[in-house]
Amino acid sequence: MTTAALVILIAAFNGIESMVEQLYSEYDSNITIRSSKGKSFDENSLDIKKIKSNPEVSNTSKALEEIVVIKNEQKWANARMIGVEPDFLKIAKVSDHLVDGYPTLMENEAPMALIGATLLDKLDGYIPKMEGEYERVDVYFPKREAKVSNFSNPFKNLIIPISGRVNYNREVNQEAFIIPIELAKEMLDYEQNITALFVNLKDKSKSEKVKRILQEQLGTDWVVKTHLEKNALIYQTSKSEKLIVIGILVFIFIMAAFNLVASLTMLYIEKKDNIKTMQSFGANQNFVFRIFFYEGLLISAKGIISGLAIGYLICATQIFGELVKMPNSGGEAFPISINWTDGALVLVLVSSLSILASYIPVKFLTRKQG
């Protein structure tokens, strides 16, 4: 059953890891380029055409980010406003994460906003069901050259209609306020400046390779990060937890292996008379060793095969039957992901420990008998 537990837990951690990566990587572009010298930079200082010419690049979007305050009636909330180009909707797969409303930043040539689901709830806002009607929020943003004093207001405000709300991960849901980049530049008095360039690839598995190429092309004035590096702590934590659990289960398997040691020892003691009879017919120490060693392997193989079968059967039942639901997820099934590489790792681990658990006691007993 330890083998089955290893298979199920590794599949569960793979599922959680895939879910976390999906939640974060689909909002974050595969590669993000920022200036190493400051918050914003002139977009003309970055050769965007050359970046787009890379055959691995599928979409790019300029971005302008700022912290703003949003008001709806008597409710206030801080938000991370991000002005983006239309291609950002493809980069972030907004249509797949839309709770309600429409996945658009322009309606009848008027700028619209997409908002995080939790952020809209915090403001007691909602998306009207009737076509052509929109929730509108008051956005307060800093004046770029404002001087703070008792007689001046360092903020400007603008009423922006909401086209839809999105659901990605906790951070995005609580903070995201997405608008067209032209509107963001107008609000913040940035003519040519942006804060980042988002780059999406045709194959995200090549992110590290493309990142190295872009970093070499752009030089040290620019910081190029993959989505994994941007959320490094989250991914590293997930992987560390997985390794810790595997280590604990391997330790438990080692403890369970003493059952095999005890079984082989008892079997050897029971068959002492038979061993003497075989030795009288010419059986040597190596022959006796092989008999009991192979017996230990057969016992282990039976447990390993049945454990793998039970483990993968339970995983398949969860994948197709969705029996176990995640708490506070609205009925979403607990994620399970079967990775045959990890299956091979489990097989190698438990087989190696089983061989040791069979070899050591039998070698000791046969030497003692000899």
Q: C-alpha angle with apex 346: 341 to 352, nearest 5 degrees?
A: 125
C-alpha pair distances (Å), 82 with each of 62, 176, 297: 10, 7, 61
Domain boundary among 205, 226, 247: 226
Domain boundary among 164, 193, 226: 226
Q: Are residues 249 and 207 in the same domain?
A: no
From first to last of the 370 residues of the chain, give the pLDDT tens digit: 678 888 888 888 888 777 776 666 678 888 999 998 888 899 989 888 889 988 999 999 999 999 999 999 889 999 999 999 999 998 888 998 999 988 999 988 899 999 999 999 999 998 887 777 888 999 998 877 656 555 566 788 899 999 999 998 888 899 999 999 999 999 988 888 999 999 999 888 888 899 999 999 888 899 999 887 776 666 677 677 777 877 877 787 777 777 778 888 888 888 888 877 877 777 788 888 888 888 888 888 888 888 889 988 999 898 888 888 877 656 678 888 887 788 888 888 888 888 888 888 888 887 766 5
Domain boundary among 181, 207, 226: 226
- Among residues 152, 21, 28, the alpha carbon closest in space to that of 92 is found at 28
Classify residue 24: in a domain, yes or no: no
Q: According to DSSP H, which parts of the chain are helical?
A: 2-25, 48-52, 88-91, 117-122, 170-175, 181-188, 207-218, 227-230, 232-270, 272-280, 285-321, 340-369
Predicted pLDDT at 361: 83
pTM listed for this prediction: 0.69
Q: Are residues 131 and 273 in the same domain?
A: no
Chain centroid to Cα 150, Å, comes to 47
Predicted pLDDT at 61: 93
Question: Which residues make Cβ contacts (< 8 Å) with residue 38, sequence separation at least 6?
Answer: none
221: helix, strand or coil: coil
Predicted pLDDT at 229: 79
Predicted pLDDT at 352: 87
**Dihedral sign computed on CA atoms, order 300, 301, 306, 308:** positive
Classify residue 323: in a domain, yes or no: yes
Which structural domain, as residue segments, surrounds residue 172?
A: 29-226
Q: According to DSSP H, which parts of 69-206 are helical?
A: 88-91, 117-122, 170-175, 181-188
Classify residue 180: in a domain, yes or no: yes
140: helix, strand or coil: strand
| DSSP per-residue codes, 225-251 | EEHHHHTHHHHHHHHHHHHHHHHHHHH
Q: Are residues 111 and 221 in the same domain?
A: yes
Q: Are residues 72 and 183 in the same domain?
A: yes
Domains: count for the chain: 2
- Tokens, residue 340: 């045959």
203: helix, strand or coil: coil
- Tokens, residue 218: 């752009």
